[in-house]
Structure 1
């Protein structure tokens, strides 16, 4: 479900993103699948079905939508090769690669939080 451009919710989101870079960044990578896609692309280029095989329970449609969003946000590059059948590869952009240390810190924080929450 998309948010209406003129909605109060959308206006609030834009205002927060403008005033706070952290909120902008979190909104950019939020959602169930984007971090998982980044995680798998950190090791290098992957084709669509390689990504799909690595990410449990993601539908082809959802993967397509998330890859398009990531491409629009310049987190990934989509390369199409003129071959039969067509070969398409996805890889992180330079700005996408800069996200990797943040993901490592999130992983460390998540592990610590899980430990604390189990107590």
Structure 2
């Protein structure tokens, strides 16, 4: 993936190459530079970046733009939310499908019960 351009919203992998008080610098898998601002590292409060990231860590994030100096601006917390949302929607779909199957079964049983009642009254 060398020198492939990334767009806002793309998922990207990178390696932490430097940490400052305000964020972390990444070497992206395509060879370009990325930057993660301290506010984009985690949904939790980040007092010390070193509590969340170390130099050499492999991370996955989401491209949210470009910095003034041309680096890709990356969000780690938005990538985590995307993964959670995907999992939540998958679980919701599974539960919804099960509910629909159960409902169809109950409706079918209820109709059979009504038919039996009608047949016993006619005799």
Please confirm whether the aligned pair reaches a TM-score higher than 0.5, indicating the same fold.
no
Higher helix share: 1
**TM superposition score normalised by structure 1:** 0.28
* Bigger radius of gyration among the two: 2
**TM superposition score normalised by structure 2:** 0.27
Higher strand share: 2
